[in-house]
A and B are shown apart, each in its own frame.
Chain A
Amino acid sequence: MTNETEPGHLLRNMLLFGRLLRSLGVNITPTQILDLVEGLDHLKIRKREDFKNGARTILISKHEHISLFDRAFDLFWQARDQGALLDLDMRVLVPPQQTEKKKILEIAPASDEEKDLPDRESDEPLIDTVYTYSAREILKQKDFADLSPEEMHEIKLLIQSMNWQLEQRRTRRKTADSRGVYLDMRRTFRGNLHFGGEPLKLAWKSRKLKRRPLVVISDISGSMERYSRVLLKFIYAISNGLDHVESFVFSTRLTRVTRQLRGRDIDSALDEAIAAIHDWAGGTRIGEALKTFNYQWGRRVLGQGAIVIVISDGWDRGDPQLLSHELNRLQLSCQRLIWLNPLLGAENYEPLTRGIQAALPFIDDFLPIHNLSSLEQLGSLLERLGEHKPTRHQHAEIQ
């Protein structure tokens, strides 16, 4: 590689490589490209391996991007060696989305039926004109599974208009507060300088309040199919209404949909989330899914006194012992574990399935989620969770 190392040529290649990486969703700033050019100067590029390591440390800032970078780099150099740089299409590196189109349509017919209805924003007053107060009350009580498409649209709007509040926790950071209980030496001293440093007026501070993070783990397996659509909308609404929300869905395996659900437009956000999920409406393995969550995500998203919401009907084909074990672990690492079950809304429902039986001892709150009024109930619970963890009893492992 003699003539490629000359500055102009190299810079052009680096810019091209940066652009290709960006097309793969790796965010790269111009400063990073400049650093790379300077860094390569120091490396004197003797070995391709050094070049690769150097480029990686400068351009990548996320663990998840490392293997993507490595493959992109190899592909880029291969193309360069063959003189085929300009025809290079990096998109071959992103796996094609293997979603079943039909299933998506069933679950989220976002477009067709809803396209006929006017836009969300301009739509707001429609609720009042079309639905009278009592009609809305009836709608609130109606089970999500029995909604007609029009009612579904209405519910979607109502869910979006809900205001979510989450109990705050006292952090260890302190701010000035005249009713605080900690003495603020800095301000006290400053404020009393003109008394000759005699502390006559005291300044106080208190611990800053911050909203707790929320983690939602929702079941989208076959038995939950009738609810999945509305639930995704609920998760979308709550993700955008609160600041620290992590969302996951599972049927046989766990998928993180946090990023997909954080968009301004509900329909495209839902489309993206759905595209990311590979096992819609499959069987349920709650224990397995929670284990994946505990092992891979728990330590990363359960900090700062997180609240965890698990949404599932408890129809579990997996091992109930695993489920109670993992749920126990999950409960121990969060502030509050809330289980929402759509079946709980039915009058004659009794939690007898193996899954629910295994889960019940490790749940702090067991609530229904089958209609709008149950969502409101949840909303008011989240607002008054209290500062302390609920009392939990020790349980022997269920054999």
Chain B
Amino acid sequence: MTSRQNIESIDQVHQKLAQHDYIADRSLTTSIFLALKLRKPLFLEGEAGVGKTEIAKVLSAMLGRALIRLQCYEGLDVNTAVYEWNYTRQMLEIRMMEAAGGINREMATKQIFSPEFLLKRPLLQAIERIDGIEPVLLVDELDRADEEFEAFLLEILSDFQVTVPEIGTLKAEQAPVVIITSNRTREIHDALKRRCLYHWIDYPSFEKEYNIVLAKIPQVPEKLAKEVVTFVQELRKADLYKLPGVAETLDWISALVALNREDLSEEIVNDTLGVLLKYQDDIQQMQGELVQKIIGRLNTESE
């Protein structure tokens, strides 16, 4: 377990991430290091499947902290993001008080609006310490939420406190580690981004992607790994509607390993291209000549 205070250098963060099978380049490591040191939320943007969400998971494991995840969607409101009263239990409680004979209304109100009847949703959980340690809060795919929620999140991120009218203000003793991700399906408001450190995660280089593959799927034959990564890297240069992310590369390799493949052939690529490409147009465009071309190049290289 490493606490935030114990982190001294970028190299150390890099090493720790690698221990948890997360391969990050130096600029991402720098962003993570500074986010921990400056206690600022880290805003990660990039195409789908480049490992944004994974960072939060790895940080939680690396720092030995609980991970609290808030998946965003349109219409996400305070009741589902912060807190809600447990109405059923509250009503039951009133019935029981009545059964026990007569109730003092003022006392009853006070009693049923106590923390005991509060359902804590992710943001409130993140503000409270869990076992005395601040958790890692992941606000995933913020671009899916609407602007109303964004404004609300901005408020929370500025001072990490929540006011429940019946109870009072709850404030975090120390800011949790916050990771916000966005696939950029819409622009997130500047005010929110400026409160965070910003990092754009690009598709990885050949070397980085190869290392990710080896770290995540150690049983992969070396030749297969090399060929698949070369293939995917070539594919990302093609004119496709949706380029495959690292997640797709890993899925593809898992599929090929399950099929006991040692290397790529035109036939197997055509049969399994659906793991990599998710649009019919893209598959159609690649199948045939283009796949042939890349495979041909792979073969001449290995000879």
Contacts and interface: CB of A to CB of B under 8 A. Distances in A.
B87 interface: yes
B75 A42 contact: no
Nearest to A32: B194
B94 A50 contact: no
Interface in A1-56: 27, 29, 31-32, 35, 38-39, 42-44, 49-50, 53-54, 56
Given A39-B34, A61-B194, A186 B10 contact: no
A38 B39 CA distance: 11
Nearest to B92: A197
A368 to B, nearest CB: 32
Given A35-B38, A39-B37, A300-B186, A171 B74 contact: yes
A38 B200 CA distance: 22
A75 interface: no
A179 interface: no
B27 A56 contact: yes
A39 B42 CA distance: 14
A294 B194 contact: no
Interface in B12-62: 26-27, 30-31, 33-35, 37-38, 40, 43, 45
Interface stretch (A101-109, A188-196, A308-316): A188-196
Contact of B38 (A38, A66, A295): A38
Interface string B237-280: 00001000000000000000000000000000000000000000
A57 B186 contact: no
Interface in B59-78: 73-75, 77
Identify the interface centre among A31, A54, A303, A304: most chain B CB within 10 Å of its CB: A54
A171 B76 CA distance: 11
A29 B241 CA distance: 37
B91 A42 contact: no
A301 interface: yes
Contacts, number: 103
Nearest to A59: B198
A367 B198 CA distance: 44
A393 interface: no
Contacts of A38: 38
B94 to A, nearest CB: 4
A264 B261 CA distance: 63
B79 A186 contact: yes
A78 B241 CA distance: 40
A162 interface: no
Nearest to B73: A172
B197 A57 contact: yes
A115 interface: no
B74 A60 contact: no
B36 to A, nearest CB: 9
A360 interface: no
B136 to A, nearest CB: 18
Given A61-B43, A61-B194, 15 more contacts: A29-B194, A32-B194, A43-B33, A58-B34, A58-B197, A171-B75, A172-B73, A174-B75, A185-B87, A189-B91, A197-B90, A197-B95, A304-B74, A325-B281, A329-B241
Interface of A: 27, 29, 31-32, 35, 38-39, 42-44, 49-50, 53-54, 56-58, 60-63, 66, 171-174, 185-186, 189, 193-194, 196-197, 294-295, 299-301, 303-304, 325, 329
7 contacts: A35-B40, A39-B34, A61-B190, A62-B190, A173-B148, A303-B186, A329-B241
